[in-house]
Amino acid sequence: MLIRPVAAALASLVPLIAVSSANSSIIQSFQMSGQLGLEVAAAAGGNLHTASGSLTLNNVVAGPVKAFLYATDFQSGGNPYTGTFNGAPLVAPVTSSDTTLPGISYTHRWDVTPFIAGPGSYSYSFTGLAPGANPNFPSGSLLSGVALAVVYNDPGASVGTLVTIMDGSQQLGEGMTISETETINFTNLVAGLTTIHSFTVFDDNAESGEVVSYNGSTIGGPIDQSLGLNATLLTMSATSMAGTNALSLTTDPATPNVDHMVWALAASIVNPVPEPSAFALAVLGLLAAGLCQWRHRQA
């Protein structure tokens, strides 16, 4: 997607970043069961002080249940910047930060559920990132990526489909030379086939070989700016067990300098396996029907 400068007229938009800032890793912000679908779209921010573009939804077939917009940057802190989504000003974000060096990362989340009307292109713009306190960023904060996660009603989905959204700001590889693994736990899951989305920023392809694992099994990687400059969205298939399931990112241990990145979003949708009792009843029903037909033929 094209990242283009923001028009000068956007300078008059209302301040955004001012609330709910606290150190955190990746934590659960949403979980719901029902006939649901999940779609995640994302774009690179270009590591610029301004960014604009659009995010396209292709699979939203019915009304939205919950929609979150994310912007992740280095060094914005309490300094406000401004933005819009589909032409409407963004206000009252929930902000997460990671103060680990070499810089403080911030992920800002807005609830944009009222603005989602189905499939289509949704525009965003951000501008006015101010200089931060870190001397590594003397000219101002850098916007690294934007993401949109949408949970929607899906009449074709199985009853009991479970959607979970985890988000925040977790740095990896901040030691720069030592491989690192960060793990988050999806709790209260049902057993079933699972699709997992993972969004990271500030990653690059100078060092490759990063690994994504689920319950100890590799399901994806590397993390090499698939969206554009220093931003990656991975969509992976896995199998969940009932209860707690662990999703891990590991920086490449084989390179002399591991890739430093920020993990901002992980979302999963689980299509549940049939309950054993229900499956057994279905089999017995088929056997009974077959037996009745056999007896009828013998009569």
Write the Ramachandran bin of 294: left for phi over 0, alpha for psi from -120 to 50, otherwise beta: alpha
Show Cβ contacts of residue 259 under 8 Å, excluding neighbours closer than 6 positions: 172, 173, 203, 204, 206, 207, 208, 210, 223, 251, 252
| pLDDT, tens only, 94-137 | 989 888 766 788 899 999 999 999 999 999 999 876 655 556 66
How sure is the predictor about 9, in pLDDT bands with cuts at 50, 70 and 90?
very low
Quote the percentage of the chain above a pLDDT of 90: 56
**Is residue 147 assigned to a domain?**
yes
Number of domains comprising the chain: 1
Using the predicted structure, report yes or no on whether residue 7 has a pLDDT greater than 60.
Answer: no
pTM of the model: 0.83
Mean pLDDT of 179-199: 96
Question: Residue 1: inside a domain, yes or no?
Answer: no
Tell me what pLDDT residue 299 has: 56
The pLDDT of 268-290, averaged and rounded, is 66
SS3 222: coil
Higher pLDDT, 178 or 153: 153
Looking at residue 77, its pLDDT comes to 66
Q: What is the pLDDT of residues 23-33, one digit of tens each?
A: 458 999 999 99
Residue 52 counted as domain residue:
yes
- 258 lies in some domain: yes
Residue 3 lies in a domain: no
| pLDDT value, residue 16 | 39
Q: Return mean pLDDT, the chain.
A: 83
Interval 208-265: pLDDT, tens? 899 999 999 999 999 999 999 999 999 999 999 999 999 999 998 787 788 889 999 9
125's tokens: 């713009």
- Domain span including residue 287: 8-297
What band does 3 get if pLDDT is binned at 50, 70 and 90? very low
Residue with tokens 């713009």: 125
Per-residue pLDDT at 17 = 34
3-state SS class at 289: helix
Cα distance between residue 67 and residue 39, in whole Å: 10
- Of 6, 92, 95, the residue nearest 46 (C-alpha): 6
Cβ distance 249 to 212 under 8 Å? yes
Residue 166 predicted with pLDDT over 90: yes
Most distant pair of Cα atoms in the chain: their distance: 91
The token pair at 58 is: 């292709």
Give the pLDDT band (50/70/90) at residue 8.
very low
Residue 203, in any domain of the structure: yes
The CATH number of whichever domain residue 144 belongs to comes to 2.60.120.1200
Examine residue 2 and state whether it is found in any structural domain, yes or no. Answer: no
Pairing of strands 21-23, 94-98: parallel
Beta bridge partners of 72: 107, 145
Tokens at 132, concatenated: 């931060």
What separation in angstroms does the CA of 289 have from each of 40, 281, 298, 299? 44, 12, 14, 16
